[in-house]
Each structure stands twice: as structure tokens, then as C-alpha cells.
Structure 1
Amino acid sequence: MAHLHITSWVIAFVLLGLATTFYRADNQKAAKISQMILRLDYLLILYSGGSLFASYSNYGPGVIIKVVIGLWVIAAMEGVAVKYKKQKPAAKWWAQLSVAAIIAIILGWGFLPLGILPS
């Protein structure tokens, strides 16, 4: 399930890049389609993340923090997309997304036992 989760995150970042690029190019139709597919991908992320969460036998603070950070990443991605759609500055949302994504990657790959790095 970890590979599905990682793959869905990669797809989400690609879709976010496409949506922001289309919004900047003023291609509203393509941007809206990209953003809607991104929102569907959020469901896949939540499903795979929930499955990973359920597979832990001990819900320690690291797992709980990872869930909260993961939700923060999703919220920041949506914030970036919405700001681009409304043609408003998105620098604060990009900063939040960068910080949250880096923390989530470090926690998920390095510290939690179901990560892909050896323990």
C-alpha cells in the first residue's frame, strides 16, 4: 500500500503543476480539468494513507503527526490551486506546501516503520 500512496502523491504534484501552469497560461478549461482530477487523486491519497494508518499496530505520536502533516499537505495543495484560479498571490501557500511536504517525506520515509527506507 505504501507504493500506491507514494505514486498517488507523485501524481498529485504533477497535477498541481499542470493546473498552476494552465491557470498561468489562462487556459481555464484545462486548468479546471486538472484541478478536478487532482481532487479525485486526493481521495486515492486519503484511501491509501488511511490503509497505511490502519496497518500500524501502535499509534504512536509519529504516526499521528504524519497523518496531520499529510492532511496539511493536501490543504496546502488545494490552497495553491485555488489562489491560482482566483489569480491571487499564492506565495504563502507555496511556503506551507514546501514545509509540510518536506516534513511528511522525512517522517514517512525515514522514521515510520512502513516507509520505504530500511529501518
Structure 2
Amino acid sequence: MAHLHITSWVIAFVMLGLATTFHRAGKQKAAKISQMILRADYLLVLFSGGWLFSSYANYGPLIIIKVLAGLWVLASMEAISAKYKKGKPAGSWWLQLTIAAILAIILGWGFLPLGILPA
């Protein structure tokens, strides 16, 4: 399930990049399609994350912080795509996305048992 979760996150970041690029280029139809795919991918991220959460239930505060960081990433991604759609600046949301993603990656790969970093 960890591979599905990581793959869905990669797809989400790619779709966010495409949506913002299409909005900047003025291709509203392509931007809307990529934004809808991004929103559908959120469901896959939430499903796989919930599955992983249920298998990590005994990790206490680390898993709770990881879940909150993951939800923060999703909220930041949605806010960025909404700001680009409205033509407003999204700089603060990009900063939040970066901080939350780094936190989630460090917790997921460094401290939880399915991670790849040495613990």
C-alpha cells in the first residue's frame, strides 16, 4: 500500500504542476481538466493514506503528525490551484506546501516502519 500512496502523491504533484502551467499559459480548458484529475487523485491519496494509518496505529504522535502534515499538503495544493484559477498570487501557499511536504516526507520515510531512510 505504501507504493500506491507514493505513486498517488507523485501523480498529485505532477497534476498540480500541469494545472498551474496551463493556467499561466491561458489554457483554461486544459487547466480545468488537470485540476479535476488532481481532485480525483486526492481520493486515492486519502484512501491509501487511511490504509497506511490503520497499519501504523501504534506509532502514537508520529503518525498523527504525519497525517496532519499530509492533510496540510492536500489543502495547500487545493489552495494553490484555486488561487491560480482566480488569477491571484499563491506565494504563501507554495511556501506552506514546501514545508508540509518536507515534514511529511521526513516523517514517512525516516521514522515510520515502511520508510527507506535508516532509523
TM-score with structure 2 length normalisation? 0.96
Does the Cα contact within 8 Å between 2:109 and 2:115 map onto a contact in 1?
yes
Q: Work out the CA distance in 1 between the residues paired with 2:57 and 2:82.
A: 37
**Partner in structure 2 of residue 101 of structure 1:** 101
Q: Work out the CA distance in 1 between the residues paired with 2:95 and 2:13.
A: 15
**Partner in structure 1 of residue 38 of structure 2:** 38
**Partner in structure 1 of residue 56 of structure 2:** 56
Q: Partner of 2:58: helix, strand, or coil?
A: coil
Q: Which runs of no fewer than 5 residues in structure 1 stay unpaired?
A: none
Deviations 1:14-63 (A, max 9, x none): 00000000000010000000000000000000000000001124041000
Deviates more, 1:106-115 or 1:69-78: 106-115
**Partner in structure 1 of residue 111 of structure 2:** 111
**Partner in structure 1 of residue 76 of structure 2:** 76
Cα distance change, pair 27–56 in 1 and its aligned pair in 2 (3 A): same
Q: Which runs of no fewer than 5 residues in structure 2 stay unpaired?
A: none
The amino acid of 1:7's aligned partner reads T
TM-score with structure 1 length normalisation? 0.96
What is the Cα deviation at residue 118 of structure 1? Answer: 4.5
Cα RMSD of the aligned pairs, angstroms, is: 1.0
**Partner in structure 1 of residue 21 of structure 2:** 21
Q: Work out the CA distance in 1 between the residues paired with 2:35 and 2:118.
A: 35
Q: Work out the CA distance in 2 between the residues paired with 1:57 and 1:80.
A: 31
The amino acid of 1:75's aligned partner reads A
The amino acid of 1:78's aligned partner reads E
